Structure 1
Amino acid sequence: MQAVSEREIRTSFVNCSKGEASRLALPRDLAGQPWDDLDFLGWRDPGAPDRGYLVTGHGGEIVGVALRLASQQRGYLHRGMCSLCLTTHPGSGVSLMAARRAGRAGRDSNSVGVYICTDLSCSLYVRGKKLPELGGRLQETLTVEQQIDRTRARLSAFLDKVMA
């Protein structure tokens, strides 16, 4: 992913108002992000634990999506799998995140959900740059590049649903 500025991030959101986008908390170390290893920039709002954000290139433009985490916490013995990167995590390491749809559908309270790594570090898990706590990656015959392509395709399909 190419590095993006604060202004680009704030203007990229498709499923929240300009006011909401101007007030959201950005990652603290934006310049220090591992941009070459990211398929998307994902972060959680430290002041609002039920909110997350995702920004990526999609269809030739930068697209941002505001996410809400489901309030249900899972027990530590439960294991979940991220539907984007296929990494497994124990407990609440994978969360159902809902994105309000863009446009009229979103104003009518329609949303799209996805099970995703709670810390939004899918790109780093796929590349082996971050290891899940007591979770794991599936043993696959796909190369890392093929796994990255699959993660990007799943992310793109999710964004298409949000923007439809």
Structure 2
Amino acid sequence: MASMQLENQVSAKEQLTANLNNQSPNKIHPERYINYSESEKGPDPPTIDIGEEVTFNEFVSKGAVVYTPPSGGIPGLSPAWVLAWDATGYTVIPPNPNKVYVTCASTKIIEKMTDDEILKKLDKSTSADGSYTDPFTKATINANLTHSFRSGNSLKANFGQE
């Protein structure tokens, strides 16, 4: 399994390490990257080859990425994945827990989601765990956001397709 390291300057208290794993049958690339952390800049998510895990060090603490396979399939029917996270809570219980929002569907459906819609769904989430399987495309996504006082926040996500 290949691993790629990306570094960027973000304050240590808002550090987020993200491990993104592509278990789909195609290479996936970031169709859209949304940074909801106004004072931070993080690395842009890269394309992830089949079976590759990509690690981001010091990723933004609140954001979202929409991943899609390269064009070439049936337009609008290929799967797409949404991964959104909020690691600004620094608690494991309400009122401000770290949380994720995940979904997947055809690119036709996901492309219609606005940045604000994704943010609203993320803000409504109350869990640091997320999992979804789209019955039409058979795409799957699983994500977990954990916090450790020693190592900061860690986001793990798996993108797949049955």
TM-score relative to the length of structure 2:
0.32
Higher RCO (CA < 8 A, seq sep 6+): 2
Greater per-residue helix proportion = 1
Q: More strand per residue: 1 or 2?
A: 2
